[in-house]
Structure 1
């Protein structure tokens, strides 16, 4: 079955789209990635979405207009990826503007902007969306969802294999080995902490809005890492918390950036305005790598780390990962046929196919829910 997958992540830079074909057993399908496309959000829309995800107030009228604009951007990405309309089904994540993990007696909740029925009408295809709600309703984190699809799409090796996505947030999947005493172990996965969220916000701040990200990590490469500050940040509660856990801009946004810049300034006994932007970016980049290395050190011994997401193109971030994850073979996921920006869109295509087949898409070992669930809601076009 040919399925379109649409993903717009925490960075809110646009929509990644893939057209994939799935055949055979749902848990270990034969799959082929047929097409891919990326459609950026217009600058004004991106700014509004990031502001909203940082708690900026908005009227109901503005929220409705933003939801329509996001839906139209998803449709544009779908049409760019599949201009001949070969897809029989669409899986669309929508744009997260708030994610609240469960805490104590309070259930979790997550809000992705999308008008599923409108998208189905625009594309004249069934659309599966709202993938997180079923797991959250069961008491799970609702995230991350990609570890389940990683397990289905990628082969196992002789030891534990880790997959790292460096989007706005860094998240890990750990796949058990093909053989040996751990072969029956559960798939693991969680959100580690920031990847590009703090970096992108810092670049926008230091450049006066002229740049939105540190291309290749070149700005950070000119700075010096304040290692003592990095090590202090690693002791914060979230980074010491055992999985299951998930996070987002709600915790790792502008307010968090300002707090960390204050920490850096205090370490230098200087005002924030006197910070060297290159040093601040170097330290934030090192921090993004350090949270991943710390998490990997707490789990089973991993042989290989496959890296995807926009952060995989940041040379300084990748250098820091290699330096801090010594002993691991670190290579791009693209070497296995899944490009840096394909993995999550492919995941939501597979989750939509699983929904269509009535197959559960969540892993209790990852989300903490008491049982797995079929994920998503299907909207069909009116004929």
Structure 2
């Protein structure tokens, strides 16, 4: 079946689209990417998304118009990826505005903004959306959801295999080995902490809005890393928390950035390049700390926008000694493909009634079919 997957992540910089074909066993399908595309949000739209997600007061009418424009952008990405309309089904994550993990006395909640019936009409295809709610209702984190797709789409190897996404937030998947006593171990996965979110906001601040991210890691390459401050940050409660765990801009947003910049300024005179270098190295240090407590992996395959930052990749290789750190592109999955491909698979699973969450990852009480399907009128 040909399915179109649409994904806009925590970075809120645009929409990645993948057209894929799935066939065969649901748990281990044959798959092929038939097309891919990416569109960038207009600057004003991205600023509005981030502002709303950071708690800026917004009218109901403005939220409605934001949902409409976000849906239009997803339709644009879909048509760019699938101009001849091959897709029989669309899986769309929507744009996360707020994510609240479960606590001791209440379930978690997560808000992905999208007008799915509007998108179904625009594309004249069924659209599966709202993937997180069923897992949240079962006491799960609602995230990350990609590890289930990783386990279905990627082959096991001779040891544990680690997969890392570097979007706004860094998240890990660990796949058990193909053979041996751990072959039947559960798939693991969690959100590590900030990836590009703090770096991007720092770049926007220091460039007075002229740059949205540290392209090519050029700014970080000019700075000096404050390793002492990083070691201090690594002791914060979230980084000491045992999975399952999930997070987002709610925790690692503008307020968090200001606190970290104030700490760097206290340590030494605040320099833009030094701050961006330190925040970039912080991302790698968080991932490395998590991997040190996980089953020992043979390799770390990286996807997401951060995989295109050579300074961040170099920091990962330095901190994760003994691991082969490579781009996921070697598996035929480009840096922007992985999550869109995952939500295409989750949509196919929804249509087939196949569970899409992994309790070993999210902490839900049981597996569940994820998503809600709407059809064009």
TM-score by length of 1: 0.98
Alignment correspondent of 2:275: 280
Q: Return the offset for 1:164.
A: 0.2
Q: Return the offset for 1:296.
A: 0.1
Alignment correspondent of 1:105: 105
Aligned residue for 2:356, secondary structure, equals coil
Q: Return the offset for 1:106.
A: 1.4
Aligned equivalents of 1:249 and 1:174: distance in 2? Answer: 24
- 1:368 maps onto 2:363 in alignment: yes
Which sections of structure 2, spanning at least 5 residues, go unmatched? none
Aligned equivalents of 1:377 and 1:125: distance in 2? Answer: 14
Q: Any residues of structure 2 matched to 1:176-195 within 5 Å, and which? A: 176-195=176-195
Q: Return the offset for 1:267.
A: 1.1
Alignment correspondent of 2:349: 354
Q: Return the offset for 1:79.
A: 0.6
Aligned equivalents of 2:31 and 2:112: distance in 1? Answer: 27
Provide, for residues 111-135 of structure 1, a one-character-per-residue CA deviation record: whole Å limited to 9, x for no partner: 0000111100110000000000000
Aligned equivalents of 2:55 and 2:153: distance in 1? Answer: 36
Aligned equivalents of 2:80 and 2:313: distance in 1? Answer: 31
Alignment correspondent of 2:267: 267
Aligned equivalents of 1:44 and 1:267: distance in 2? Answer: 35
Aligned residue for 1:18, secondary structure, equals strand
Provide, for residues 127-157 of structure 1, a one-character-per-residue CA deviation record: whole Å limited to 9, x for no partner: 0000000000111000000000000000000
Q: Any residues of structure 2 matched to 1:318-333 within 5 Å, and which? A: 318-333=313-328
State the aligned residue count: 377
Aligned equivalents of 2:78 and 2:354: distance in 1? Answer: 24
Aligned residue for 2:35, secondary structure, equals strand
Aligned residue for 2:312, secondary structure, equals helix
Alignment correspondent of 1:7: 7
Aligned equivalents of 2:77 and 2:204: distance in 1? Answer: 26
Alignment correspondent of 2:64: 64
Aligned equivalents of 1:153 and 1:362: distance in 2? Answer: 14
Alignment correspondent of 1:114: 114
Q: Any residues of structure 2 matched to 1:57-206 within 5 Å, and which? A: 57-206=57-206
Aligned residue for 2:368, secondary structure, equals coil
TM-score by length of 2: 1.00
Alignment correspondent of 1:305: 300
Aligned residue for 2:143, secondary structure, equals coil
Aligned residue for 2:31, secondary structure, equals strand
Q: Return the offset for 1:39.
A: 1.1
Q: Return the offset for 1:55.
A: 1.0
Q: Any residues of structure 2 matched to 1:17-32 within 5 Å, and which? A: 17-32=17-32
Aligned residue for 1:311, secondary structure, equals helix
Aligned equivalents of 1:161 and 1:45: distance in 2? Answer: 37
Aligned residue for 2:163, secondary structure, equals strand
Aligned equivalents of 1:76 and 1:85: distance in 2? Answer: 13
Aligned equivalents of 1:256 and 1:83: distance in 2? Answer: 41
CA RMSD of aligned residues (A): 0.5
Q: Return the offset for 1:51.
A: 0.5
Aligned residue for 1:319, secondary structure, equals helix
Aligned residue for 2:90, secondary structure, equals strand
**Runs of 4+ that moved beyond 6 A:** none
Comparing 163-172 with 39-48, greater Cα deviation is found at: 39-48
Q: Return the offset for 1:5.
A: 0.2
Alignment correspondent of 1:222: 222
Aligned equivalents of 2:56 and 2:101: distance in 1? Answer: 20
Aligned equivalents of 2:275 and 2:47: distance in 1? Answer: 23
Aligned equivalents of 2:216 and 2:148: distance in 1? Answer: 30
Aligned residue for 2:37, secondary structure, equals strand
Q: Return the offset for 1:35.
A: 0.2
Q: Return the offset for 1:188.
A: 0.1
Alignment correspondent of 1:338: 333
Q: Return the offset for 1:300.
A: 0.6
Provide, for residues 349-374 of structure 1, a one-character-per-residue CA deviation record: whole Å limited to 9, x for no partner: 00000001000000000000010110
Alignment correspondent of 1:234: 234
Aligned equivalents of 1:46 and 1:281: distance in 2? Answer: 21
